[in-house]
Amino acid sequence: MKKLAKTLFFVIFISFCSIIFLTGYYSYKIPQTYKMFVGQKPEFNFFGVDFEKIEQNIPINRPSKKFIDTEFYKAKFLGFIPIKNISVKKYNKVFVIPCGTPFGVKFLTKGVMVVDTQKITTKQGEKNPSKDAGLKKGDIIEYVNEEAVNCNDDIKNIVLKSSGGEIKLKYNRNFKQYETTLTPVLSKKERKWLTGLWVRDSSAGIGTTTFCTEDGIFGGLGHAVCDVDTGDKLPLGTGEIVEASISGVKKGICGSPGELSGTFLKDKIIGHVKINTDCGLYGKFYRPIYPHEPVMIGFKQEAKVGSAYIYSTIDGKESKKYSVLIESVDSNSKSRNFVIKITDKELLDKTGGIVQGMSGSPIIQNNKIIGAVTHVFLNDSTRGYGVFAETMLEVSDELQNSYME
């Protein structure tokens, strides 16, 4: 009898622990928000989990004309253990033009980014006025003596006029505003008033366009444009898009990512950049481009482990189709939603897999664009990360709305 009681207790205890574990697991795995098109039925596909539709009288914020309505569901494990409430946002069908084509970007910052400070030799010895003022690598200086600054020359001219007098700076660090004062020192060697500041005020490079709408709104790159020294996202002031062509490939190997090299074509401006975000660059082409036939956006729940393909350009201006394998899907990550593996023999032979410059290459599965390539694994150039297309669509929708206002 005691043995039976122990066995029963053990079974109940294991069952209880399993339920607690699975409830927590599903709470993490089930996204807070789903998106789908009008006419589609919710397919949640979580074993042992029921989804009960609930009515909520909540005012609906419509972020774009594509958005129609929101439904709410309560997720329950085994039909009675509450997990979480989720929302299902419904949209009209969205078609975009998958690209995979190269573009050149000329990028001017809003403010200037501190990339380093250095000591200056004076008659009194070595001094570092920028460090003494509390400035650090990655700070974004926006105003000097109440004047907006957007390039190194702006600061240089104000410093020269100061004749060694105290200057006031307003700067941004980690999205917080700060103020400080800085006193230039007279360089013993150059006989000039200097601050010891090294700043970045521009950037240029080549990326890959993910998609374009028929209105010319585009998203590309899949990740932010960051400073090469600090690794921080560059604050966008203005940006121009020019035609570009890929002229060479450095093949990737373990521990050393390869890269595409290219050239700007005739400095012809074909559009402008409006936003630099963690999931890519966004702006507008003066004329939409049509490298491939339009396809529907695929939402995150439609991305599955299995075969897919990307559009990318590794020579010239025209993108080609290359086969890939989606190895895993993470709906909860902000930007690393896929792990993909290049399986196309031609691409592997020429590039070794994913190389720098391919970021933004659209990922197509079941004739829908579900994401974009973002990063390559340093220890395996055949594999890398991708971001959901629906994440990029949210940003492009906001941008499109701003043009319509």
Q: Which of 130, 139, 154, 223 is catalytic?
A: 223
Q: Which of 130, 359, 361, 396 is catalytic?
A: 359
Task: Please report, in angstroms and rounded to a whole number, the separation of the first and last CA atoms in the chain.
Answer: 77
Do the Cβ atoms of 195 and 181 come closer than 8 Å?
Answer: no
Six token digits for residue 172: 């941004």
Write a three-state SS string for the chain: CHHHHHHHHHHHHHHHHHHHHHHHHHHHHCCCEEEEECCCCCCCCCCCEEEEEECCCCCCCCCCCCEEEEEEEEEEECCCEEEEEEEEEEECCCEEEECCCEEEEEEEEEEEEEEEECCEEECCEEECHHHHCCCCCCCEEEEECCEECCCHHHHHHHHHHHCCCCEEEEEEECCEEEEEEECCEECCCCCCEECCEEEEEEEEEEEEEEEECCCCEEEECCCCCECCCCCCECCEEEEEEEEEEEEEEECCECCECCEEEEEEEEEEEEEEEEEEECCEEEEEECCCCCCCCCEEECCHHHCCCEEEEEEECCCECCCEEEEEEEEEECCCCCCCCEEEEECCHHHHHHHCCCCECCCCCEEEECCEEEEEEEEEECCEEEEEEEEEHHHHHHHHHHHHHHHHC
**344 is a catalytic site residue:** yes
**307 is a catalytic site residue:** no
Q: Which of 201, 344, 361, 375 is catalytic?
A: 344
Residues assigned a catalytic role? 223, 344, 359
